[in-house]
Structures are given as C-alpha cells and as structure tokens.
Amino acid sequence: MTKKILSALLLVCSLYLHASAQKDSITISGIVTDFEGNAKDSAFVEIKGREFGKESMYETYSDSDGRYSLKVKKGKYLALASMKLCEYPKSNSQLSHEDMRLEFWAWNVIAEDDMVLNIHYHRLEIYGITVFKIEGASPGYTIYCRPMSLSKYYSNPDKPIDDTDLCTDPDLLDVKVTINGVPVKINMKQKVKEYVSNGICNGYLLHVDAPKELSKKGCDIFRIEMTDLENGDKGEAVYFKEKDGYQ
C-alpha cells in the first residue's frame, strides 16, 4: 500500500470518527445574568452525573458577556449548576452578607438536541426539584422543591443551620412557573416538612395547570422563579420532565 493511499484512508477514518462524535454530542449554551439582566462573567457552569458527589462531568466558565457553552454527549444528567464561585458563602467567608449569592440549578437535564439554557441567580436557591402527576387527581402537575433564602439564614446568625427554617411562608412567596416558555396557573402553594439525614427541613408542594400544548420533543421544560416578598431574595431553577416512553 502506497503512502498516498494510506494517508487517504487515515483521513477518511478521521473524518468518520469526527462526524460520529458530532452526531453523538450536543451543545448547551446560554447567558448567565442576575435578575436585572446584568451579565455574570467568570460564572462556573457544571454538569453532574447521576452520582451527585462525584466530580463534574463537564464544566466551563462564562465569558465577559456572561456567555457559556458546553459540548456534551447526548443523554440524561442529574443536574446543571451555576454561579460565580467568589459569591458563594462557603467559598468566600469574608464576603459581606449582602454580596453573597446562591446557585442556579437545572435538574434531570435531558440533552437530546442543541439547546439554549439561560441562567439567572440571586439569593434564593431552589433545590431538589421533582415534577410528577398524581394518578386520578386533578389535571396538571405537582412540583416539589426546596427554596432556601440567604436572608432567612442570616436573620438568625447564632442559630444552627439545621434548626433554621430557610423557606418563607406561602403568603410571602411569589411563584411563577412556565412550561416550555408558556406561563401556567399556580393552583396551590403548600409548605411541607422533608426528612433529611440530620433531621427535618422545609420544602414546598406546588400544583400547576398543564399547558394547552406540550413539546413534541422527548421532554417538557419547567422553569420556576420564586421571590421572597419579605426580604427580596430571588431564585430560579429548571426541571426537564421526561415523557413516557422516552428513550
């Protein structure tokens, strides 16, 4: 076999492998901002696999305009998280309470096509979202989540965090939910107790209407925004609701 033929074969193989890799991967991109639309540069963006405690599967940082981009293998991931690490209380204990922030979360991330996922975060973290339907009950979706307010925590600085209720009461919690970008009606907000390994914490059950039309893709995207009306803390999170029969 001549060198020219061998080089040509190697080039063909390289192009095939590159095309195959492109077919098996997608790009998640967007802009990281605060709730006033100001760009967050150097914000950490990471994707976690199904084992939460392990290192990030993919990670990057936003640029000076707040833009980020991650090329990932197609599939399902536990979560995507983001914030500027120097604003996180555990990373920077010298930061003033007013300048501290908590992270944005997207849960059950289904990466099947290129997507734009814009990120907003402030001082209220919406953690551990689960979305489900109750069989035989009113149409719509039930959402569980755990909203945690920084201001609520620092209002009792001498009290152990395990004994601090970080969730505001329902009449002081403003909630907005969209499904695939369409606002839906909030039918119920109920504060509930959640068991955790070191005791009890507080979360929320929400019930929302189903939209008139759902996505034709393998999942529907729920975006939840909350504001603690008592202290102004805001937060946002996303949940990818997998459709029955999705593979």
**DSSP letters of 198-246?**
TEEEEEEEEEEPPPSS--SSSEEEEEEEEEETTT--EEEEEEEEEPTT-
Look up residue 66 and give its two tokens. Answer: 């707040």
Q: What mean pLDDT is reported for the chain?
A: 88
**pTM, two decimal places:** 0.86
How far is the C-alpha of 147 from the C-alpha of 53, rounded, in Å? 21
Contact 126, 233 (CB under 8 A): no
How far is the C-alpha of 213 from the C-alpha of 210, rounded, in Å? 8
Look up residue 190 and give its two tokens. Answer: 């109920």
Residue 120 belongs to what H/E stretch? strand 119-120
Residue 17 belongs to what H/E stretch? helix 3-23
Q: In what order do the strands lie in the sheet with 186-196?
A: 124-132, 141-149, 199-208, 186-196
Contact 133, 146 (CB under 8 A): no
Residues 187-203 pLDDT 10s: 999 999 999 887 889 99
Contact 122, 233 (CB under 8 A): yes
Cα angle at 147 between 69 and 227, to 5 degrees?
A: 85
Which of 5-9, 86-90, 220-224, 242-246 is predicted least confidently?
5-9
How far is the C-alpha of 213 from the C-alpha of 182, rounded, in Å? 9
How far is the C-alpha of 166 from the C-alpha of 160, rounded, in Å? 12
The 3-state DSSP class for residue 13 equals helix
Look up residue 118 and give its two tokens. Answer: 């814009």
For residue 63, what pLDDT is reported? 98
> Biggest alpha carbon distance in the chain?
79
Residues 71-126 pLDDT 10s: 999 999 999 999 999 999 888 778 898 999 999 999 999 999 999 999 999 999 99
Average pLDDT over residues 206-227: 91
Task: Pick 44 or 9 by higher pLDDT.
Answer: 44
The 3-state DSSP class for residue 15 equals helix
Question: Which neighbouring-strand residues pair with 19?
Answer: none
The 3-state DSSP class for residue 192 equals strand
